[in-house]
Structure 1
Amino acid sequence: MVTRLLHRCGLELGPESDLMPPQADNPEGFWEHLRFVALNDELLAALGGAWDLPPKPDESFTGQPLNPLRLKARLLIEGFAPANVWGWKDPRNSLTLPFWQDLLPGLRTLIVVRNPLEVAHSMRERNGTSYSFALRLWEIYNRRLVEVANEKDRLVTCYDAFFENTESELRRILQFAALKDTELRSAAALVSTRRRHTHFTIDD
């Protein structure tokens, strides 16, 4: 959802044909660039892992065996050269961020924190994973991301904030991303609590 709002505000995500298509459980789309997703999958596999099998925390992303993937990544990045502000969404970035930071100095990272119970429920519905496994992955993904993204180049936002004060939270992100706020209200209008798939509170 957040990526969709930023796209409305001018964030370049690449050609629509390169974006993951909507599905029955997410008719508004995932807004993930398929080539970035595929490259992240290749990168994780090269390190002996996968999205659901995170590599070791001290894994090196600078070795020569990853050179072919670095070349593919540079070519992918070059395609966004004409864009003023561009980005991509992929949860796997939480595990591969050091690789991208090396290619994109000063890379800004938006961290969207969602209630882990909501994430676990979604993963159970979509992937059939257990709650305990999904909660463990949530912890690893978020911890790795916070550890790698330095404070100067990261912004942490809470998913719930977009259902409580959409315009205020979106404006904060636009300032961080150097995006204009001319489409702020039209983007905020896209948020609807009725379309929220799952919602857990701190009491749960």
Structure 2
Amino acid sequence: MRPPFIIIGMHRSGTSILTKVLEKSGIFMGVVKDHNYEAMHFLSINQQVLWKSGADWHKPKVPEKLHWHEIPAQELFREHFRLNGRLAQWRQALRHEKWGWKDPRNTFTLDMWLAKFPGAKVIHLLRNEDDVVASLQKRNEVNGEVFAPELKDQDYCHQLCQDYVKQGRSYAQKLGDRYLELEYEKLRAQDPASIEALQKFTGLALKANFKKYLH
């Protein structure tokens, strides 16, 4: 299996749009995904690990190693592609397909994933903080979406955003050329330098238009 691409960044930063574009361009992002384009098995593991650490997506912290999930990398890979049986696994090995997943919680659980997938490449997406906070608070009032009373406090939301950005950037030195930081606004505007950097990082010719997925 190839090392995966792992997408990190604050919630409401445009990571869903980035994930859709990458999948349309050739990076498989999972058989079972939720409406935010997050692979359900990775999301579930992230959430369990945070809960064991006394944290949550809106009260995040880096989990201690004793709370890490122990599922082997190969088992996670097979679940990602739903590879049932040796024949399916053999066919997948021949394709040697690029793959990855997105979940903002990766921002705090990344050390666990890097231990399982040492060659992983990380894409960190940033967005204007005021826009993130506005989007976060708007979603917090939508029936059927996640809700947290803390998110009614604008100052709390700004600090939460800053915590995610700080944690995401903390991996840059460790990962070196396996870390790429991008700005949502530049991708949205089809900034040539940002598109080129993403293409070089992934080894893909991006086939989808970022504007297509804006809503």
- Please give the range of the TM-score, normalised by the shorter of the 2 chains: 0.7 to 0.9
What is the CA distance between 1:146 and its match in structure 2? 1.2
Which of 169, 182, 206 aligns to 1:146? It is: 169
RMSD of aligned C-alpha atoms? 2.2
Summarize the alignment of residues 125-144 of structure 1 with structure 2, pairs less than 5 Å apart. Answer: 125-128=138-141, 129=151, 130-144=153-167
1:77 aligns with 2:100: no
User: 1:20, 1:39 → 2: CA distance?
Assistant: 14
Which of 57, 60, 64 aligns to 1:60? It is: 64
CA contact (8 A) 1:8 1:187 kept: yes
What is the CA distance between 1:126 and its match in structure 2? 1.1
User: 1:31, 1:131 → 2: CA distance?
Assistant: 26
Summarize the alignment of residues 39-118 of structure 1 with structure 2, pairs less than 5 Å apart. Answer: 39-55=45-61, 59-61=63-65, 63=66, 65-66=67-68, 69-71=69-71, 74-79=74-79, 80=81, 82=92, 83-118=96-131
1:5 aligns with 2:21: yes
Q: 1:114 to 1:161 in 2, by over 3 A?
A: same
Summarize the alignment of residues 148-167 of structure 1 with structure 2, pairs less than 5 Å apart. Answer: 148-149=171-172, 150-166=175-191
User: 2:40, 2:189 → 1: CA distance?
Assistant: 31
What does the per-residue CA deviation read over 1:117-142, in whole Å, with 9 as the maximum and x for residues that have no partner?
A: 11101110112512211111111111
Q: How does the TM-score come out when normalised to structure 1?
A: 0.76
What is the CA distance between 1:170 and its match in structure 2? 2.7
Summarize the alignment of residues 9-48 of structure 1 with structure 2, pairs less than 5 Å apart. Answer: 9-15=25-31, 18-21=32-35, 30-48=36-54
User: 1:163, 1:10 → 2: CA distance?
Assistant: 20
User: 1:91, 1:104 → 2: CA distance?
Assistant: 18
Q: Residue type of the partner of 1:169? A: S
What does the per-residue CA deviation read over 1:142-182, in whole Å, with 9 as the maximum and x for residues that have no partner?
A: 11111134222100000011232355523321220233x1x
Aligned length: 174
SS in 2 for 1:71: coil
Unaligned 5+ residue runs, structure 2? 1-16, 82-88, 142-150
SS in 1 for 2:57: coil
CA contact (8 A) 1:85 1:178 kept: no
Unaligned 5+ residue runs, structure 1? 22-29, 198-204
1:121 aligns with 2:141: no
CA contact (8 A) 2:24 2:208 kept: yes
User: 2:24, 2:201 → 1: CA distance?
Assistant: 16
What is the CA distance between 1:97 and its match in structure 2? 0.5
User: 2:155, 2:72 → 1: CA distance?
Assistant: 35
What is the CA distance between 1:31 and its match in structure 2? 1.4
What does the per-residue CA deviation read over 1:165-204, in whole Å, with 9 as the maximum and x for residues that have no partner?
A: 355523321220233x1xx3x402x515xx755xxxxxxx
